[in-house]
């Protein structure tokens, strides 16, 4: 199952041409990059939790089979960033597992992934995109604000690290 590429989100910065593509479950590089990039940021700042293991070890079941999507930032067949959309209700999706490889941070890849994910959520019929993060991740909070997310005051999360929730109505 190969998701269609979102070619509208190709961008060029500092001589890098990056295209946001859909996750291909038949491509071992996609699976490996999704795991490595996400385990890297989680282990850098937090502890891996059961929800991380469930989603990263079986992304097809956790995201794709439920009607969600996984998007990857690709440059010359190298995956530099990831994000995923998971349906949480009829018209809401959770934006999760967003990460960028250390070598590509600061190049606008997170913003491109975020924009592509919002567009993909619209294509999937979403009226709302929701996400959870941690207050210690200032660059992530700034990115989400730049994308147009606003704070949710009361929420519960299965993740111990999640102390901030944000949402965007489409």
Looking at residue 90, its pLDDT comes to 86
d(C-alpha 162, C-alpha 155), whole Å: 10
- Which residues of the chain are modeled with pLDDT < 50? 1-9
DSSP secondary structure code for residue 3 in this structure: P
Q: Quote the pLDDT of residue 8.
A: 38
- Express each pLDDT in 76-120 by its tens digit: 899 999 999 999 998 999 999 999 999 888 888 999 999 999 999
Under CATH, domain 6-129 is a member of which superfamily? Gcn5-related N-acetyltransferase (GNAT) (3.40.630.30)
Domain borders along the chain are: 6-129
State the pLDDT at residue 11: 59
Whether 149 contacts 160, CB under 8 Å = no
Helix H segments across the chain? 28-45, 50-57, 59, 109-123, 138-147
Q: Please give the pLDDT value at position 170.
A: 97
Please tell me the predicted confidence (pLDDT) of residue 7. Answer: 44
Give me the pLDDT at residue 159, please. Answer: 87
**pLDDT value, residue 5:** 47
What pLDDT shows up at residue 13?
60
Q: DSSP labels for 81-98?
A: EEEEEEEEETTEEEEEEE
pTM of the model: 0.90
**How high is the pLDDT of residue 107?**
84
Query: What is the predicted pLDDT for the residue at 106?
Result: 85
Please, are residues 95 and 114 in contact by the beta-carbon 8 Å criterion? yes
């Amino acid at each position: 199952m190969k998701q269609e590429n979102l070619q509208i989100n190709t961008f060029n910065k500092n001589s890098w041409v990056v295209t946001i593509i859909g996750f291909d479950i038949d491509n071992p590089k996609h699976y490996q990059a999704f795991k490595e990039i996400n385990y890297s940021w989680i282990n850098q700042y937090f502890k891996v939790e059961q929800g991380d293991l469930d989603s990263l070890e079986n992304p097809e079941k956790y995201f794709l089979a439920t009607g969600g999507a996984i998007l990857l930032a690709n440059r010359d067949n190298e995956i530099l960033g990831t994000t995923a959309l998971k349906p949480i209700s009829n018209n809401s999706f959770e934006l999760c597992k967003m990460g960028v490889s250390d070598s590509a941070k600061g190049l606008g890849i997170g913003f491109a992934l975020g924009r592509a994910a919002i567009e993909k959520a619209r294509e999937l019929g979403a009226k709302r995109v929701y996400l959870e993060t941690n207050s210690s991740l200032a660059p992530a909070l700034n990115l989400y604000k730049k994308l147009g997310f606003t704070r949710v005051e009361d929420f519960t999360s299965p993740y111990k690290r999640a102390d901030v929730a944000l949402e965007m109505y489409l």
